[in-house]
Structure 1
Amino acid sequence: MLQVLVKRKSIVADGICSFELCLANGECLPAFTAGAHVDVHLPSGVVRQYSLCNPPQERHRYLIGVLRDPSSRGGSQALHDAVQEGHTLQISEPRNLFALAGNGTRHLLIAGGIGITPMLAMAHELDRQGADFELHYCFRSADRAAFLDDLSKAVFTERVVLHDDSSVVPSTLDAYALLQGPEPGRHLYVCGPGGFMDYILGCATAAGWPQAQVHREFFAATPTEHGADQAFEVQLARSGKVFHIPADRSVFEVLDEAGIEIETSCEQGICGSCITRVVQGIPDHRDQFMTDAEHANNDQFTPCCSRAKTPCLVLDL
């Protein structure tokens, strides 16, 4: 855990604030890679994940962008209303679950709304590497688009294509046309609201993009329709202990209460922190982190949100 000082808080778009975080003693922060995020621990006990959007070579600060969520459960609203310059926050060291492909020869970055935050760090890093890339940024209107000024002044600005849905001259992204003809070595990165991501990823699938060349990061779980949840059992392979999972509780909640440690962060199935190997049984996958192919293997699942299709799951714990 790191204790950081909020050195600067700025309004970067309608409903979006940026926070510049530094160590109070002026020392260097832990290094991070493009696409990384930090867990922000708020005074209320709520923990939320925010992507780092400054150039990864910077060690004197972390920069995050936070969209005020109307349905906030105490995360974004608290940061917007209660956290001010000069305040201190507890954050985790950076983790990266949305990294640039090291074997990529061309990179296509597509961001929607607040999904621009990890893409900024990616664009800075790809430009530093001299890599072949382009960044497409889609937004409803300019006043709701974060970091437009930064993008206009960036050294890679010629590689940025803006898609403003409210502009007089239509500039809406034609994702299906853009994604035609996937090539070996060309990688796609997508981040943004759930509906936007579903559209882009659907176009990529229709165009024949291999899943190994498609990378995505969700900021919030997409509501899904499930029937009434059923209780089931979880057995720990290493000890043989069996736990009853009620219909209204997650595997993580039950095991955590019993003192079984599982790393977790988002508790919504979007970050992948808690992925656990399945030894026996068939999971009911409800995460948005793993690919369809990984779900089909049924050899791992997310205990924070997923459940079971069989009466018992045996886990590698």
Structure 2
Amino acid sequence: MLELYIIEEGGNSMDSEKSLTAVDVAELLKITKNTVYELVKRGELPGYKVGKKLRIDRDDVENYINNQKISKSNRNKNIILNSELTKQTYTNNVLNLENPNDIIISGQDVILDVLAEHIREKVNDMRVLRSNTGSYASLYDLYNDKISVSSVHLWDGDTDEYNTAFVRKMLPGVSCFIINLAYRNVGFYVTKGNPYKINKWKDLTKSNISMINREKGSGIRILLDEKLRLNNISKEQVNGYDIEKQSHFAVARSIARGEGNVGIGNENIANTVDGIDFIPLQEERYDLVIRESDLKYPIYKLILSTVRSEEFKKEVESLGGYDLKDIGKILAKT
């Protein structure tokens, strides 16, 4: 996901009781200036220019606050949906570390959007960017110095373990720390009521069903391929194996529309889409991967301290669906 860059006008004093600057609004709403600009750009918060200065009426800010007074569950649902919809827009974007002041955090979970926003609030001399790339490709990009930090949720069927084996294989000779973000439930997305009784991996071979798959390189695709291997199932036995979508949200929506009968994804997304049921299969571990050599730089220390902060933990908890028992812990060194 690409960050929106807008130059802030100077000053944080109010021109009048009714006209506020972006800084004033940011202080009132406890958000960043860039977030204020993004709200105005999206039309969620009315704004206008006085010369080159952005101004927002106090009444409009109060209306915005009142409109946000929705239930916690709906608010969390909107956060997830907005993140997933934005991913649809930027799926094909390719980012590269061309500027030494760029930091690119790669991965596809909304937790990373929250993390990036927390970092942006604390630094003003570098750009904090997001790359919407699956785990396998993210590790490849980290090895090739195209990104700064990778997220990963790759299950290895031979060790029955997440992430460590893949990091060792894909970053040979590179010492890395694997730092936990969360644990999530993954499982089948099925048509409401599960009419085809899809409950285990071998059920994917039923001739009367068709699946919607994830793209190569995503953690879920690798989980599927490993499970098929261990269960001696060939991809030719799975109807719809070659039908790919670029996010859990896209898979879930496809099942809800009847384009397929089963997909695989995490429980959080299943809870945001009507018309499907979620059949849990296993708990996956979702981690950050940071090169040991990078932790001497302040920005990487800031990323680590942010993940370990109570403020970040509380915001992730508010999203629901994450087990944060090991958040911020270094689980392995490769």
Whether the TM-score (by the shorter chain) exceeds 0.5 is no
Q: Bigger relative contact order, structure 1 or 2, given CA contacts below 8 A and separation 6+?
A: 2
The interval holding the TM-score normalised by the smaller chain is: under 0.3
TM-score w.r.t. structure 1 length? 0.24
More strand by percentage: 1
Larger Rg: 2
